[in-house]
Amino acid sequence: MPKHVDPEARRRHVVDALFRVVVREGLHRTSLRTVADEARLNIGSLRHYFAGQQDLMRFAMQSMLDRVGGRLLAHVERIGDLGDHPRPEQLRLVAGLLAELLPLDENRRAEVTVFLDFNTAARTNPSFGDLSLQAAEGTRSLIRRVLGRLHAEGTLRGELDLDLETQRLTALLDGLGLSAVLHPEILCARTSFDVLLTHLGDLSKPVGTPDPPH
């Protein structure tokens, strides 16, 4: 009897192989052939699931966005209500949440590397522009909600412009991600997290400032 193959499992297997190739060789050197070889499949099998290289790239990017999004939601569930935690712990919990977007371990390093290469390609390839925009808007939306929640809990300084701080924190995360991928010997995971946590601390009220009345 012919062996049954789960199409979704096979696609995930191929995407994992694609990530490894991109991390090792760069997106510009990635092809259906190199991905098929990495996945130990013949190229005909690959074409059964993906119409071509562009289809494969879009599926990989969407899979990565879904994977990161799912991880963020799970992290939010673990945090629960920020109001149940003291102020310093609130900042550490939020830093841990946002650190899901940074290359602090092997899996996240692969994701950020693929993300950077994909966005570079999207600059000149309009076929990828929608996914690039989706990722950018999603990051800003998440950060804006997080800052809004901290502000509502009375953790942040009251005079802050949250829209401006959203852009500033997004730029910080982008810069940390790029630097940590390009120069991990200079910017390690521990330092990346500490920079993020320090920035959040700079946005917060001084220790001892009373909470606003509810």
Domain ranges (residues) in the chain: 1-50, 58-203
pTM, 2 dp: 0.86
For 183, phi then psi, to 5°, come to: -135, 65
What fold does the segment set 1-50 form as a domain? Arc Repressor Mutant, subunit A (1.10.10)
pLDDT digits (tens, 9 = 90+) for 104-163: 999 899 999 999 999 999 999 888 999 999 999 999 999 999 999 999 989 999 999 999
What fold does the segment set 58-203 form as a domain? Tetracycline Repressor; domain 2 (1.10.357)
Q: Residue range 173-187: average pLDDT?
A: 96
112 touches 102 (CB < 8 A): yes
Helix 87-98 and helix 189-203, axial crossing angle in degrees, nearest 10: 130
The overall average pLDDT reported for the chain is 88
